[in-house]
Amino acid sequence: MKKRIAILGSTGSIGTQALEVVSAYPERYGVEVLTANENADLLVEQSLRYRPGTVVIRNEKHFTRVRDALRHHPVRVMAGEDAMVQVARLDEVDMVLTALVGFSGLQPTLAAVSAGKRVALANKETLVVAGELIMREAREKSARIIPVDSEHSAIFQSLAGETGNEIEKLILTASGGPFRGMTMKALENVTPEQALQHPNWCMGKKITIDSATLMNKGLEVIEARWLFGVTPGQIEVVVHPQSIIHSMVQFTDGSIKAQMGLPDMRLPIQYALSFPERLRSAYSRFSFRDFPGLTFEPPDTKIFRNLALSYEVLKKGGNWPCILNAANEVAVNAFLESRIRFTEIPAVIERTLERAEFIRTPSLEDYIETDLLARQVAAEQI
Same domain, 103 and 213: no
Domain of 203 in residue numbering reads as 165-262+297-316
Residues 25 and 102 in one domain: yes
Which of these three, 147, 179, 213, is where a domain ends? 147
> Using one digit for the tens of pLDDT, what is the confidence trace for 76-123?
999 999 999 999 999 999 999 999 988 999 999 999 999 999 999 999
End-to-end CA distance of the chain: 52
Residues 107 and 240 in one domain: no
Tell me whether residue 81 is in a domain: yes
Of 140, 92, 91, 132, nearest to 113 by C-alpha is: 140
Number of structural domains the chain divides into? 2
- The confidence score (pLDDT) of residue 275 equals 96
Radius of gyration of the chain (CA): 20
| H helix intervals, the chain | 13-24, 40-50, 63-69, 81-88, 106-114, 125-141, 150-158, 184-187, 192-195, 205-213, 215-228, 266-274, 305-316, 320-336, 345-355, 364-380
From 147, 180, 212, the end of a domain falls on 147
331-351: pLDDT as tens digits: 999 999 999 999 999 999 999
Residue 127 lies in a domain: yes
DSSP one-letter string for 320-366: HHHHHHHHHHHHHHHHHTTSS-GGGHHHHHHHHHHHSPP-SS--HHH
Three-state SS at 259: strand
Residue 323 forms part of a structural domain: no
Q: pLDDT category, 366, cuts 50, 70, 90?
A: very high
φ and ψ at residue 145, rounded to 5 degrees: -110, 120
The domain that holds 28 is classified in CATH as 3.40.50.720
Do residues 173 and 215 share a domain? yes
| pLDDT band with cut points at 50, 70 and 90 for residue 203 | confident
Q: Which amino acid is at 277?
A: E
On average, the pLDDT of the chain sits at 96
Residue 216 lies in a domain: yes
Same domain, 43 and 71: yes
Cβ atoms of 148 and 272 closer than 8 Å: yes
Element (H, E) at 181: none
Same domain (yes/no): 128, 193 = no
Mean pLDDT of 187-201: 91
pLDDT of residue 202: 75
Average pLDDT of 30-55?
97
Indicate if 139 and 214 belong to the same structural domain.
no
Same domain, 22 and 138: yes
Chain segment 239-276, per-residue pLDDT in tens: 999 999 999 999 999 999 999 999 999 999 999 999 99
Q: Looking at the structure, tell me whether residues 83 and 219 fall in a common domain.
A: no
Position 69 in a domain = yes
Q: Which helix (H) or strand (E) covers residue 145, if one does?
A: strand 145-147
pLDDT at 199 (0 to 100): 83
Closest residue by Cα to residue 66 from 37, 83, 46, 41: 41
Whether 136 and 242 map to the same domain: the answer is no
Residue 338 lies inside a defined structural domain of this protein: no
36 falls within a domain: yes
Is residue 175 assigned to a domain? yes
pLDDT of residue 372: 97
Give the span between the Cα atoms of 62 and 76, in whole angstroms: 15
Q: Give the residue with greater pLDDT, 203 vs 132.
A: 132
Last residue of a domain, one of 112, 147, 182: 147
- Whether residue 106 is found in the same domain as residue 179: no
Asked if 381 contacts 335 with a C-beta cutoff of 8 angstroms, the reply is no
> 172 and 309: one domain?
yes
